[in-house]
């Protein structure tokens, strides 16, 4: 039982601007379930994608069943008996369940597809997993959780000896998780090696033998599950002290600007209640898929709401579409500024004018150039956007300055609440500081800032108050004085305990 | 406590009996709809002009439809992978000019046919590699080869249409156009034969399955070990073979090579495919639909002509039909999605 079936030594992988993996070593034994843990961006998925041949490593060695493999690709990985269940669904929606399960290794008889045999075989695999799906159903017609089960069935049907499960339970129901764990235990006893990646730490107790922790692309530690505790695991996951410097301005908190009452929109936004006061920055923390982006989208009117009341400056506002939100003074700075926030091929002036053309144009729709000029100058000065002139393409600005343009165009309208969704993702440290300064500037002007971020240090460094989300709910509201990384992570992994629910149902 | 009760509801709807199963087959719904449309058209034209049903017209009509079926097959293959082939019409013209030029130079017609197919296949390989290996958008890659192939059509006979391909090519002309077998023109048999082969490949072989997979989710297909480059290239080879065949039919028909033969055929091919239920977004459609789509196209042309409608009116009507058939599909699909969301909301 002590034989390593996977040995990775000193593996490194760079992506443009990021060191995703830095000299990481990794071992897996047969007959064990290894939990690979770490925060978002710690390098878990990258490591597993290297093992399964989706990415190629920059350096390091890889041994599978004792044999050194240098040129791994998805086909080779499959032949070697490595199967991966990806975090994001990878199904062909137009094909049936059986066709998806056998994709790339279809059974044939004299060159003709043996659909009958594949349907039967797929039926057997599904029944073996206690999954009640007709193998001839078109995958696109299944719910996400059923698709996830098909994905799992597909991986298992390859007779793989090494199974990688990247967040397999995030879309599953309690009964399905129960079934999956039964299967995992069975596979383990049959001598399979299983790598299990999950943010749901409370699940680990049911299946895991060993844990390995990554942080910022580096190997931190590994230990037997029974010798450790969730508290210890979390402290290793978080690990670092906050060393970065965050600019902070003090301002007296004023009156309530925004109040959200019982906002519901699908699975990812459930019973959201919070308020935002003049001159404060409220951080929204949580892990990927916690429902933060969905909450801002529902608030801004992008996605339909099932219920909920929104008050701005004490008056109720009805937000059905983004334009309603904008008119009531709530604006969104989207996560992907190049895609959703800016027209990168238009000038700064055009970008700032774009959402304000109703104000800038007369009744015939002709834009008043003088007014346009004025507001551009005003917002450039107001936010300290550094540029040669307002005619340059927005795409030519630095990340921080681009973000300022996105914000600037909204402030023309005297907006009351600015929502930032992951404003610092993928930009360098200097630009990050510019964005923190921008948020502080808004704060001191008495504008309410709602700040979604996956990076805990900046949430802790910038916010005055923190809302922690998990599984579509706000699990904790923390004042900045009482907030620590450990507490945030504890509440960010506070999922409904589906296992218990399952047993109760 | 279970959150997905709605799914069970869904699956009950999907529980297929034999008859419903036929309908639930990929793309079958649209095929049934347009077949009904085709029958209505035929009846209407028959009433407007009883000669529509004359033996002579029926066999002419079928011979008119055959080339549309052929290019439709090629375009359908490509569309199902989510790509497009704009070079079809030019490959038709190129094949027509190459075969006719070689024959006027006294080459054995069957050898000329062989060389024609080889040159067309080279265009097919080029298309496939540019798109799958060099990652050019299909629209751009085939726009380029479309222009190149048309240029070749013009250059092979020094920018002139050819003279008559002559007596020696009588056998060739009969094989591709004038001859009859079992009372039907050979062109029809050729189209049917090619359809049977390519329909089999698309629906019954691994290659066919991979074509659907690539069009449905190229990423998933890649991760499942499907060879994307080879699959995409194969679809362009099929398209090239079909186009070359149509080029040969045109040579046989007129007995000469015409440089602008096949102009805009690639778009007729898109129309035939799309009317028949092939999605331009990939992953969806069956070749049975392409036959029906091509037939609607041919029946409209022929029937409107018989009814005395001028060319302009014919074009307008056909344009409207293309839009309506796709609109219908979108509406049906939107309703299906709504039903799905409703079923899920009942949790």
What distance in Å separates the CA atoms of residue B346 and residue B9, rounded to the nearest whole number?
Answer: 9
Mean pLDDT of A134-154: 87
CB contact (8 A) between residue B212 and residue A141: no
Using the predicted structure, report yes or no on whether residue A186 has a pLDDT greater than 50. Answer: yes
Using the predicted structure, report yes or no on whether residue B16 has a pLDDT greater than 50. Answer: no
What is the side-by-side order of every strand in the sheet holding A315-317? A272-277, A256-264, A307-312, A315-317
Query: Alpha carbon of B118 to those of B111, B245, B256: distances in Å?
Result: 11, 12, 20
CB contact (8 A) between residue A90 and residue B217: yes
pLDDT at A391: 77
Which one has a higher pLDDT value, A236 or A390?
A236
pLDDT at A359: 79
Q: Identify the weakest region by mean pLDDT among A213-222, B47-56, B321-330.
A: B321-330
**Residue B338 included in any domain:** no
Mean pLDDT of B35-53: 88
The residues that bridge with A309 in the sheet, in sequence order, are A261
What distance in Å separates the CA atoms of residue A338 and residue A341, rounded to the nearest whole number?
Answer: 6
Mean pLDDT of B10-18: 45
Q: Where are the domains of chain A?
A: 1-81+160-240, 90-158, 264-499
pLDDT at B202: 94
What distance in Å separates the CA atoms of residue A459 and residue A283, rounded to the nearest whole number?
Answer: 6
pLDDT at B56: 86
- Which range, A251-265, A422-436, B108-122, B317-331, has the best average confidence (pLDDT)? B108-122
What distance in Å separates the CA atoms of residue A233 and residue A227, rounded to the nearest whole number?
Answer: 11
Give residue A242's pLDDT band: very low, low, confident or very high (50, 70, 90).
very low
Q: B221: which chain A residues are within 8 Å (Cβ-Cβ)? A: 92, 103-104
User: Choosing among A77, A95, A138, A500, which should be mutated to test the B contact, i.e. which has the most B CBs within 10 A?
Assistant: A95
Q: A103: which chain B residues are within 8 Å (Cβ-Cβ)? A: 209-210, 213, 220-221, 224, 226
pLDDT at B121: 97
Give residue-wise pLDDT tens across range B282-295.
888 999 999 999 99
What distance in Å separates the CA atoms of residue A248 and residue A252, rounded to the nearest whole number?
Answer: 13
The residues in A 186-205 lying below 8 A from B, measured between CB atoms, are none
pLDDT at A439: 87
Give residue B340's pLDDT band: very low, low, confident or very high (50, 70, 90).
low
A229 touches chain B (CB under 8 A): no
Mean pLDDT of B5-25: 47
- Which range, A9-18, A169-178, A269-278, B165-174, has the best average confidence (pLDDT)? A269-278
pLDDT at B125: 97
Mean pLDDT of A122-130: 87
Mean pLDDT of A339-350: 80
ipTM: 0.80
**Residue B59 included in any domain:** no
User: ∠ CA(B285), CA(B65), CA(B148), 5° rounding?
Assistant: 75
Give residue A310's pLDDT band: very low, low, confident or very high (50, 70, 90).
very high
What is the side-by-side order of every strand in the sheet holding A210-215? A82-85, A162-166, A193-197, A33-37, A210-215, A218-224
Mean pLDDT of B187-205: 95
Using the predicted structure, report yes or no on whether residue B10 has a pLDDT greater than 50. Answer: no
φ and ψ of B116, to 5 deg: -60, -45
Lookup: tokens for A240: 């670092």
Q: A138: which chain B residues are within 8 Å (Cβ-Cβ)? A: 24, 26
pLDDT at B341: 54
pLDDT at B20: 56
**DSSP alpha helix (H) spans, A303-364:** 322-327, 348-353, 357-360
pLDDT at A426: 64
Mean pLDDT of A64-92: 85
What distance in Å separates the CA atoms of residue A152 and residue A155, rounded to the nearest whole number?
Answer: 5
Architecture of the domain whose range is A264-499? 3-Layer(aba) Sandwich (3.40)
Average pLDDT taken over every residue of chain A: 84
Mean pLDDT of A249-263: 87
Lookup: tokens for B51: 């000669």
Name which of A90, A95, A136 is nearest B223 (Cβ-Cβ): A90
Are domains A1-81+160-240 and A264-499 of this chain identical in fold? yes
pLDDT at B346: 43
For B262: left if phi > 0, alpha if psi spans -120 to 50, otherwise beta; the answer is: left
Task: Kindly give, in sequence order, each residue whose CB lies less than 8 Å from that of residue A121, ignoring residues fewer than 6 positions away.
Answer: A98, A102, A107, A157
**DSSP alpha helix (H) spans, A52-173:** 74-80, 97-101, 115-128, 144-157
| DSSP percent split of chain B into helix, strand, coil, nearest 5 | 75, 0, 20
Q: A141: which chain B residues are within 8 Å (Cβ-Cβ)? A: 10, 14, 340
Give residue B15's pLDDT band: very low, low, confident or very high (50, 70, 90).
very low
Give residue-wise pLDDT tens across range B265-285.
999 999 999 999 898 888 889
Chain B residues contacting A, CB < 8 Å? 1-4, 6-7, 10-11, 14-16, 21, 24, 26, 204-206, 208-210, 212-213, 215-217, 219-226, 283-284, 340, 344
How many Å lie between the alpha carbon of A276 and the closest alpha carbon of chain B? 31
Name which of A54, A142, A175 is nearest B223 (Cβ-Cβ): A54
Fold classification of A1-81+160-240 (topology level): Rossmann fold (3.40.50)
Number of separate domains in chain B: 1
Give residue B196's pLDDT band: very low, low, confident or very high (50, 70, 90).
very high
**Residue B320 included in any domain:** no
Using the predicted structure, report yes or no on whether residue A329 has a pLDDT greater than 80. Answer: yes
pLDDT at A176: 81
What distance in Å separates the CA atoms of residue A233 and residue B242, rounded to the nearest whole number?
Answer: 63
pLDDT at B8: 39
User: Choosing among B218, B223, B337, which should be mutated to test the A contact, i.e. which has the most A CBs within 10 A?
Assistant: B223
A81 touches chain B (CB under 8 A): no
Domain that holds residue B252: 74-269+277-287
**Residue B147 included in any domain:** yes
Place of tokens 């600007």: A257
- Which range, A101-110, B45-54, B244-253, B311-320, has the best average confidence (pLDDT)? B244-253
pLDDT at B12: 41
Give residue B152's pLDDT band: very low, low, confident or very high (50, 70, 90).
very high
Which one has a higher pLDDT value, A240 or B257?
B257
């Amino acid at each position: 039982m002590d034989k390593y079936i996977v040995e990775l030594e000193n593996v490194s992988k760079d992506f443009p601007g990021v060191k995703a993996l830095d000299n990481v070593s990794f071992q897996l034994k047969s007959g064990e379930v290894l939990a690979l843990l770490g925060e978002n961006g710690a390098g878990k998925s990258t490591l597993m994608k290297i093992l399964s041949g989706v990415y190629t490593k920059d350096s390091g060695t890889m041994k599978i069943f004792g044999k050194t493999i240098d040129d791994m690709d998805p086909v080779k990985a499959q032949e070697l008996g490595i199967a991966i269940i990806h975090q994001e669904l990878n199904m062909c929606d137009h094909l049936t369940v059986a066709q998806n399960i056998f994709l790339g290794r279809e059974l044939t008889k004299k060159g003709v597809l043996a659909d009958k045999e594949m349907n039967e075989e797929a039926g057997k695999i599904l029944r073996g997993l206690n999954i009640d799906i007709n193998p001839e159903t078109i995958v696109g017609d299944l719910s996400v959780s059923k698709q996830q089960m098909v994905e799992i069935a597909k991986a298992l049907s390859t007779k793989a000896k090494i199974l990688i499960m990247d967040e397999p339970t995030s879309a599953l129901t309690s009964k399905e998780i129960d079934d999956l764990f039964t299967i995992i235990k069975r596979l383990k006893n049959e001598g399979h090696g299983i790598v299990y990646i999950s943010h749901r730490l409370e699940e680990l107790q049911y299946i895991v033998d060993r844990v390995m922790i990554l942080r910022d692309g580096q190997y931190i530690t590994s230990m037997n599950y029974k010798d450790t505790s969730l508290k210890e695991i979390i402290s290793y996951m978080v690990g670092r002290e906050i060393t970065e410097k965050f600019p902070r301005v003090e301002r007296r908190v004023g009156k309530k600007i925004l109040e959200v009452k019982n906002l519901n929109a699908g699975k990812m936004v459930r019973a959201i209640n919070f308020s935002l006061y003049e001159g404060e920055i409220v951080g929204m923390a949580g892990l990927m898929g916690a429902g933060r982006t969905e909450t801002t989208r529902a608030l801004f009117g992008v996605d339909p709401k099932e219920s909920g009341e929104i008050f701005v400056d004490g008056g109720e506002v009805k937000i059905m579409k983004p334009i309603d939100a904008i008119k009531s003074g709530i604006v969104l700075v989207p996560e992907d500024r190049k895609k959703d926030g800016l027209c990168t091929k238009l000038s700064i002036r055009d970008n700032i004018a774009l959402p304000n053309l109703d104000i800038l144009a007369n009744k015939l729709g002709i834009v008043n150039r003088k007014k346009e000029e004025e507001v551009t100058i005003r917002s450039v000065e107001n936010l300290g956007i550094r540029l040669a002139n307002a005619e340059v393409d927005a795409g030519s600005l630095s990340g921080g300055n681009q973000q300022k343009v996105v914000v600037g165009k909204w402030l023309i309208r005297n907006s009351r609440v600015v929502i930032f969704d992951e404003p610092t993702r993928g930009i360098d440290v200097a630009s990050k500081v510019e964005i923190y300064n921008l948020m502080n500037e808004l704060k001191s002007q008495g504008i309410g800032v709602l700040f979604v971020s996956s990076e805990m240090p900046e949430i802790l460094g910038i916010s005055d108050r923190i809302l922690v989300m998990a599984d579509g709910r706000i699990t904790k509201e923390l004042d900045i004085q009482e907030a620590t990384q450990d507490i945030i992570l504890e509440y960010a992994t506070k999922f409904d305990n589906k296992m218990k629910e399952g047993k109760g149902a | 406590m279970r959150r997905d009760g709605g799914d069970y509801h869904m699956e009950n709807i999907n529980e297929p009996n034999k008859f419903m199963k036929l309908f639930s087959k990929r793309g079958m719904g649209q095929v049934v709809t347009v077949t009904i449309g085709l029958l209505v058209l035929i009846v209407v034209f028959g009433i407007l002009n009883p000669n529509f049903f004359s033996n002579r017209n029926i066999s002419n009509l079928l011979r008119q439809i055959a080339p549309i079926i052929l290019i439709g097959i090629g375009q359908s293959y490509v569309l199902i992978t989510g790509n497009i082939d704009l070079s079809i019409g030019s490959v038709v013209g190129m094949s027509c000019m190459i075969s006719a030029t070689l024959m006027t130079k006294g080459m054995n017609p069957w050898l000329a046919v062989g060389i024609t197919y080889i040159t067309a296949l080279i265009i097919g390989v080029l298309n496939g590699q540019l798109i799958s290996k060099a990652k050019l958008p299909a629209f751009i890659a085939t726009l380029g080869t479309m222009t190149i192939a048309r240029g070749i059509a013009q250059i092979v006979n020094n920018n002139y249409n050819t003279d008559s391909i002559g007596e020696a090519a009588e056998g060739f002309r009969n094989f591709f156009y004038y001859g009859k077998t079992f009372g039907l023109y050979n062109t029809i048999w050729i189209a049917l034969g090619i359809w049977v082969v390519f329909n089999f490949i698309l629906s019954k072989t691994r290659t066919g399955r991979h074509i659907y997979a690539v069009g449905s989710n190229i990423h998933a297909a890649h991760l499942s070990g499907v060879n994307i480059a080879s699959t995409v290239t194969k679809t362009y080879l099929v398209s090239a073979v079909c186009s070359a065949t149509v080029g040969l039919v045109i040579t046989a028909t007129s007995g000469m090579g015409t440089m602008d033969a096949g102009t805009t055929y690639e778009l007729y091919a898109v129309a035939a495919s799309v009317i028949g239920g092939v999605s331009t977004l990939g992953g969806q459609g069956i070749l049975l639909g392409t036959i029906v789509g091509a037939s609607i196209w041919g029946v409209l042309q022929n029937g409107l002509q018989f009814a005395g409608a001028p060319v302009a009116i014919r074009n307008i009507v056909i344009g409207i039909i293309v839009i309506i058939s796709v609109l219908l599909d979108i509406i049906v699909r939107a309703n299906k999605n709504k039903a799905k969301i409703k079923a899920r909301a009942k949790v």
